[in-house]
Copies of this chain bind each other. A is one copy, B any other.
């Protein structure tokens, strides 16, 4: 790759995750005021404007969780009256940010998200060999933005990576209730985006970034809430000793749930793992109370843009 000349900043992929939406609107306002001759072009996008307007995660199908296979198909599928809005929107986004594999595609996508879980500031990427994302992670980590972690999902839905053959990271920050904006969370996201863009400018100007390593949390499995077998209603909440302790090692035998009748349910796995997305609002409907990850150190090579 020559340079990362064009970065897309996407807010509102989920319409009730407000930090990214207001950050994109604010960035757009400042762009109008000037900032010519930038070393990087920032494209701002509200990914799911209809969901944003309604303050809901999605209107018909989750833009984020449209599975790769479905999504890949949907990019070329003919549109009918029954096509869900989010599928149509994904085709628009493909035109706007791609098209996939074309020379006009943006070079880096930063997709802004919130979570109700106490996860601090996380970058989510979809391959542990995405050196650009891993170097950005290292850059953010060095500048000590609150709790910073990095996740790799191996088996994940990723709409954007299907448009584009470029780097893509989701920035996830919490805790913040969906439908609410908290100033401290907004500021943290704003700082992280500024730092990310600083890194891109340095990269584009020819700076060499040394080799190093970053801690990576790789998803292993998920755990659902205990449920009533007949009604499928949940019968327990996340245990107070686990609630808000994202990325704190969970040992076999540790409490995970406290049932509404007062019974403690414990972690039955054999291996200590790192819980995250603990009690995320949007995952109730997906049958996920928390995800569990293994932590590892990933070596990243030195990197420098190769000017043409």
Q: Which of A144-152, A203-211, A234-242, A290-298 lies at the binding interface?
A: A234-242
Query: Residue on B with the closest CB to A236?
Result: B183
Size class of the contact patch on chain A: 20 to 34
Question: Given A26-B261, A260-B26, A261-B26, A240–B184 Cβ distance below 8 Å?
Answer: yes
Question: Given A25-B233, A177-B116, A182–B279 Cβ distance below 8 Å?
Answer: yes
A252 interface contact, C-beta 8 A:
no
A198: min CB distance to chain B, Å: 18
> CA–CA, A234 to B55, complex, Å?
13
> CA–CA, A186 to B186, complex, Å?
28
Tell me which residues across on chain B come within 8 A of A186, comparing CB atoms. Answer: 237, 260
Tell me which residues across on chain B come within 8 A of A23, comparing CB atoms. Answer: 260
Using a CB-CB cutoff of 8 Å, which residues 152-179 of chain A contact chain B? 175, 177-179
A287: min CB distance to chain B, Å: 14
A281 interface contact, C-beta 8 A:
yes
Number of copies: 2
> CA–CA, A285 to B55, complex, Å?
10
A223 interface contact, C-beta 8 A:
no
Tell me which residues across on chain B come within 8 A of A182, comparing CB atoms. Answer: 237-238, 243, 279
Tell whether, in the assembled complex, residue A180 and residue B25 are in contact, meaning their CB atoms are under 8 Å apart. Answer: no
Question: Given A186-B260, A260-B186, A179–B284 Cβ distance below 8 Å?
Answer: yes
Tell me which residues across on chain B come within 8 A of A181, comparing CB atoms. Answer: 234, 237, 279
Tell whether, in the assembled complex, residue B180 and residue A240 are in contact, meaning their CB atoms are under 8 Å apart. Answer: no
A300 interface contact, C-beta 8 A:
no
A258 interface contact, C-beta 8 A:
yes
> CA–CA, A302 to B36, complex, Å?
74
The 3 closest A-B pairs by CB, nearest first: A177-B177, A183-B237, A179-B281
